[in-house]
Structure 1
Amino acid sequence: MNQPAPTDPMSTPTEPAAAPRRSWFARHKVLTTFGALVVLVVVVGALGGGGDTPAAAPATAGAGEAGDTAAPGAEEAAADPAAEEPAPPTAGIGTPVRDGKFEFTVTSIEAGVAHVGDDMFGKDAQGQFTLVHMTVTNIGDEAQYFDGSSQKLVDAQGRTHSADGSAAIYLGDAESFVNQINPGNSVQGTVVFDIPADATPASLELHDSMFSGGVTVSVG
């Protein structure tokens, strides 16, 4: 009969070998599988969805850049349609024009006149008399006074001259000294201006009264 081997009372009992520790992925198979699926979906979405994303629109020039390339004054002309329309031509001798209740037609102009009246009753010009002959018609529905002193003459240098009413009196038929004109009637009048001897008449400012806006007639 075999006897058990005697044991050494001083020896430590041998512990069984520990089982090998599994990795985290092995111990969490469900989480690992789910995570892999999530990563796969993200990658496929990134690769396949790139064609669906609209391309960025090309940058357009800002208002400041457009203004730099536009022709000078283009923005002002676009904002103000009236700026694109040419100014109406100025009326000249023989063209009827209107201001208030009067229609004026300048028929002729005499410049360089040194004296008006006769030898006994007359007046000498300080510079030169300029006689403006015109037809004045009342186009309103009430009587209106035609007064030569309300008229202006502008010379080629841009200077504005008033009418000389006292010189017009010596013409006898000037008809421009506070002459009342009834509706529909016309008068043939002459307005006298005493301007410098070297001045050249350029235009007239004709008014139905001293407070009206006036209308311009070119005589130069």
Structure 2
Amino acid sequence: MTTTPGTPPQPTPPQPSAPYPGPGGQVPPVPVPDAPVPSGPKRSWFARHKVLTGLGALVLVSALASALGGGEGSSAGATTAPSAAADAAETDQAAAGSGDSADTAQAPAEGSQPEDSQPPSGLTFPGMADDDIVGRTGDTLTSKDVSITTTPVTAGDATLGPTACTTVTVVNGSTDPVDVNAFDFTLLNPEGAITDPGFSGTDTHLTSSTLVPQGSVSGDVCFDVDISAGGQYVVIYDPVLTLFTDRAAWVNEL
């Protein structure tokens, strides 16, 4: 340490001690600490666990797909159910309509002829009109909801002369009262002459009546006609007191 007169002594900083020479006079090297290796940026948990991250993503995608698919299926089911119900209802209605049509087609009783229908093949008579309702003797014909049946024309009581008689039955199927009497009927002979009813030939003449809805009446209608020669005789129903009613005719081949 160096001192200057009048100056207090200054301490000398310690100096690193030199290594002692080793054997052979060589100084061993002083160890230098390794420089710290800089660490990279810290990775996230997902980057450090790639397998688990992939599995989790796969599960999430599958769950979303199932949810979307289930919603579409439910919607489709909800849409299809009403459609199927509507189709079933239409099928039932079609079947019901077919059944009603079949019932309607089979409704007329055997031997009857619906109103406005064509006459059976081969049935014709002089003076027949296009709108006449024509049938064979014994048939039930309907004109404006009034059903009439006639029996075959036969010879009646001949005490006062030859007669031809038929028994008629009238049923009122309408909703209004209907007047009926023997003069609603006439008889057409083979020569084309029309005869009105007479007052002989039977004891059970058709009486004049007013039929309420669903009411009926029966009786004989006789004509002063000789039918012994045979031929075509046509009983014609043409109401006297009822308007807008088509004629009905029953053809008798004697």
Higher Rg: 2
Structure showing greater relative contact order (alpha-carbon pairs closer than 8 Å, 6 or more residues apart): 1
**Normalising by the residue count of structure 1, what TM-score does the alignment of the two structures yield?**
0.48
**Normalising by the residue count of structure 2, what TM-score does the alignment of the two structures yield?**
0.42
